[in-house]
Amino acid sequence: MVYMGMQAEDRPSVLAWDILFVDRDYEPKMDVALVNGVREAGFPVVLGAQIDPVARGMISDGAKPDDRRWMRSLAKARGLLESLPDQQGALLPIPGLLPEAPWGFLTANADDDGVVRRFPLVFRVGDEVFPSLVLATLMAHMRVAPEDISIVPGDAVTLRSGAGTKRIPIDAHGDFHLNYRYELKSTVALAEEGGEVPTVVNEPFPEGIEPVSMAGCFLRQARRLGLGENLPAPPLSGKIVLVGHTAAGLTDIGPSPLAGQSAKVMVHVNALENILRDDYLRRWPSWPLLGVILGGGLMAGWLLDRRGLRVYAVVTCGAVMIVALASQFLLVNNNVMAPLAVPMTALLVQQAFVVIRKIREEQAQRDRIRKMFGSYVSPELVNRMVEAGGEPQLGGHEEEITAFFSDIQSFSSFSEVLTPSDLGELLNQYLGAMTDELQSHGGALDKYIGDAIVAMFGAPVPLPAHARAACEAAALMQKCQASLREKWTSEGGRWPPLVHAMRTRIGLNSGRVIVGNMGSSHRFNYTMMGDAVNLAARCESGAKSFGVYTLVTETTVALARAQGARCVFRELDRIVVKGRSQPVEIFELVGLEEDVAPAALECLELFAKARAHYLRQEWAGAEEAFAAAAVLEPNQPGRDAGVEGNPSLIMLERCRQLRAAPPPADWDGVYRMKTK
């Protein structure tokens, strides 16, 4: 039981029951005793009624539907019935109580979380309007008749009495919004202990408000009967008394904003306390707070651009906390309820947009950096650096790769016949086309050295079939060079004949090398180092000595064939390049299988026979075979622009020299190059 004090009298001002008496008892004497007790109380007793749409009218147990004898509806204003929802039916107290006591509806619907935050102060049933238990109790306390009440949905319910006017704000549906102030610490514990001392969660009950157990009421009655003069009993003089259940397991217990489990009678206690003290919630319009929140969000977005993510996160979280704390302060101390749902949702959407925009900008920046650095180093290396996330470090690691070197034949002569601008344009066309072909087969660009291209297959991204990829790329690059010659020739006098005859020499070698960042701590380059790299460079420069344009070592040929390369190779010679002591077998990469003509294949057979004679020092047979092969060579001096020789002509000349000056008896057939 909870009661409230307003006047200093010997009896309560009002006794209101948050308990339903809608069913007849099987003992008629019990109903008669209850009716007599209410009639003889000497103070107003307000009873509870229940909304029941199924009833389809106002029904009391034992009475006929729509029995109007004991019902007085509230005065109606224009538009009132249209504003309030029709509850359609209700269950009233038993007929014997109806002429003795006013009643009001107990219905208070909870939100989805089970908390009652608002409830109708007035109810419409059909074409009549009736009070809630809170309003009926207040009417009895202030001695206000139904005709002294005016109702304006969306504004207020106004009670007028000789003591003054009480204006209670309601919304458009007639709902009163609770301002929770007081709560029992444990409703269940209070019921079980049977004590009279309140335990409060939010703040102390004001003077004249305190919870009392049923045991306290029995003590009060015992004192009145003279059975316990010395027993403590709660004072009831001049109080508004509310009687309600607090026992565990009943439906009259549920959550509140101040406690996990609360007696539902506390809804009526808080509502009456709000009304008697004019302690109403005031709602702050959404748009000022929305403007503040969005303005702060724009500032946070500006800080994200200017100061970085850390400052942005601190400012954004701080702004949200400040707004939340300010909202709580206004609610607790000033009864101002600032709506946070819409502003916070707007802030969330705004900041999500800001963050997504920033992510897109960062991604675009990364793409720009990747593209920009990809113009200087291989895209594979750029991607690897970006994905690694850390700073590049000096040092390298051992890796098996195929090294690639290319150079334009007699390129120094081009600068003599071309202006600097034309030379730059020509070189850009050449390097662009050749690099695209190289990278399309997995080659990683190491660097440009003037017209020379240095690249690697197998690093920085591992490439299992690096030898095959390198050989096929070299063959296609030679085809690309031929297409460029045709293009430049078709442009007429735009380019001099030297450009129409441009040829490219390529050297390939495979082996284990060191790859990584080489240089100083301030400036370094991802490159390759090792004997295998040097040998590839010697192959490129030595190609001229054999009249070929793609020279490949035996190691690369063996790997390429094992990896399924569709290339045709010609075994040329066994040589020792300048700077090395160990001999190496070298091959010409003639082209892709589908591009090599039958005459070229016949040339290769004759060349192989001639070389066998050559190794046996059968100079006459070798000369004859080399001469026959020279006629079938794919590249012919004088016929093909830029061609200065071919392997058959060069080996034919060497045979003549060796026949004139035979080698020693222990000659091993190795040719030692004198130049790089």
Residue 369's pLDDT band (boundaries 50, 70, 90)?
Answer: low
What's the average model confidence in pLDDT over 530-547? 94
Distance CA 481, CA 549 (A): 11
DSSP state of 515: E
DSSP 102-139: -EEE------TTS---EEESEEEETTEEEEBHHHHHHH
Q: Is the pLDDT of residue 25 over 70?
A: no
Q: Contact at 8 Å (CB) between 246 and 187?
A: yes
Does the pLDDT of residue 227 top 90, yes or no? no
Task: List phi, psi (to 5°) of 515.
Answer: -125, 145
DSSP conformation letters of 435-468: HHHHHHTTEEEEEEETTEEEEEESSSS--TTHHH
Q: What is the pLDDT confidence band of residue 211, given thresholds at 50, 70 and 90?
A: low
| pLDDT bucket at 534, cuts 50 / 70 / 90 | very high
Strand 103-105 versus strand 45-51 pairing type: parallel
* Beta bridge partner(s), residue 574: 585, 670
The residue with greater pLDDT, 581 or 333, is 581
User: Distances from the Cα of 476 to the Cαs of 20, 322, 407, 456, 500, in angstroms?
Assistant: 96, 67, 15, 16, 19
Give long-range contacts, CB 8 A cutoff, 24+ apart: 21-24: 21/47, 21/48, 21/93, 21/94, 21/97, 22/49, 22/50, 22/60, 22/61, 22/91, 22/92, 22/93, 22/94, 23/61, 23/94, 24/61, 24/62, 24/94
Q: How far is Cα 51 from Cα 72, in angstroms, rounded to an integer? A: 17
Eight-state DSSP code of residue 75: P
Q: State the pLDDT at residue 195.
A: 38
* pLDDT for residue 396 is more than 90: no
pLDDT tens, 545-562?
999 999 999 999 999 999
Which tens digits make up the pLDDT trace of 143-180? Answer: 888 888 888 888 888 988 887 888 999 888 888 888 88
Q: What is the DSSP letter of 495?
A: S
| pLDDT at site 546 | 94
Cα distances (Å, whole numbers) of residue 495 to 54, 72, 487, 499: 100, 110, 10, 6
Q: Which pLDDT tens digit goes with each residue over 415-471?
A: 889 999 999 999 999 999 999 999 989 898 999 999 999 999 998 888 899 999 999
pLDDT in tens, 284-304: 666 666 666 667 666 766 666
| Distance separating alpha carbons of residues 329 and 342, to the nearest angstrom | 19
CA–CA distance, 175 with 198 (Å, rounded to integer) = 30
pLDDT at 408: 96
SS3 content of the chain, % helix, strand, coil (to 5): 40, 25, 35
Three-state DSSP state, 60 = strand
Residue type, 161: S
Least confident of 252-266, 267-281, 425-439, 636-650: 252-266
Task: Determine if residue 622 is left, alpha or beta; phi over 0 gives left, psi from -120 to 50 gives alpha, anything else beta.
Answer: alpha
Task: Specify the pLDDT at position 523.
Answer: 73
Measured CA distances, 458 to 455, 520, 537 (Å): 10, 24, 17
Cα distances (Å, whole numbers) of residue 620 to 165, 226, 358, 671: 136, 151, 78, 19
Average predicted confidence (pLDDT) for the chain:
80
Distance CA 328, CA 50 (A): 35
Mean pLDDT of the 310-331 span: 73
pLDDT for the residue numbered 579: 74
Q: Quick one: average pLDDT of 313-321?
A: 74
The answer to whether the beta carbons of residues 4 and 32 sit under 8 Å apart is no
pLDDT at site 188: 42
Q: Of the given ranges (312-316, 507-511, 616-620), which has the lowest mean pLDDT?
A: 312-316
CB 184 within 8 A of CB 193: no
Determine the Cα–Cα distance for residues 71 and 441; give it in Å rounded to an integer. Answer: 95
Helices (H) and strands (E) in the chain, counts: 19, 28
Place of tokens 């359609």: 88
Q: Residue 58: is its pLDDT beyond 80?
A: no
Enter the tokens of residue 24. 């007849």
Q: Which residues pair with 152 in a beta bridge?
A: 156
Q: Torsion over CA of 404, 410, 411 and 414, rounded to 10 degrees?
A: -160
Q: For residue 111, what pLDDT is reported?
A: 82
State yes or no: pLDDT of 389 exceeds 60: no
Q: In sequence order, which residues have a C-beta less than 8 Å from that of residue 264 and are 6 or more positions away?
A: 18, 108, 116, 244, 245, 251, 252, 253, 254
What does the block give as tokens for 63? 């009475």
- Is residue 214 within 8 A of residue 243, CB to CB? The reply is no
Kindly report, residue by residue over 75-84, the tens digit of the pLDDT: 766 678 888 8
Is the CB of residue 107 less than 8 Å from the CB of residue 120? yes
Q: How far apart are CA 570 and CA 591, in angstroms?
A: 10
d(CA 474, CA 452): 14
- Residue 2 and residue 265 in contact, taking contact as beta carbons nearer than 8 Å: yes
Check: CB of residue 107 under 8 Å from CB of residue 268: no
pLDDT at position 191, please? 39
> Highest mean pLDDT range out of 103-117, 352-366, 482-496, 517-531?
482-496
Residues of the chain with pLDDT > 90, as a percent, come to 34
The mean pLDDT of 234-259, rounded to a whole number, is: 71
Residues 6+ apart with CB under 8 A from 607: 570, 625, 626, 629, 647, 648, 651
Distances from the Cα of 425 to the Cα of 430, 432, 448, 453, 493, angstroms: 9, 11, 15, 17, 15
* CA 201/CA 198 separation, integer angstroms: 10
Which position has the higher pLDDT, 250 or 148? 148
Query: 394-596: which CATH number, 3.40.1180.10, 3.40.50.2000, 3.30.70.1230, 3.40.50.20?
Result: 3.30.70.1230
- Name residue 114's amino acid: G
Asked whether the predicted pLDDT for residue 3 surpasses 50, the reply is no
pTM recorded for the entire structure: 0.54
In terms of average pLDDT, the best of 113-117, 199-203, 251-255, 299-303 is 113-117
Q: What are phi and psi of 125, to 5 degrees?
A: -125, 105
Strand, helix or coil at 169? strand
pLDDT at 565 over 50: yes
What is the pLDDT, as a whole number, of residue 83?
84
Asked whether residue 104 carries a pLDDT value surpassing 60, the answer given is yes
Residue 196: which pLDDT band, with cuts at 50, 70 and 90?
very low
Q: Between vectors from CA 388 to CA 386 and to CA 393, what angle results, nearest 5°?
A: 100
In this predicted structure, what is the pLDDT of residue 197? 35
- Does the pLDDT of residue 233 top 60, yes or no? no
d(CA 210, CA 236): 11
Residues ≥6 apart with Cβ < 8 Å to 618: none
Give the separation between CA 296 and CA 318, rounded to whole angstroms. Answer: 10
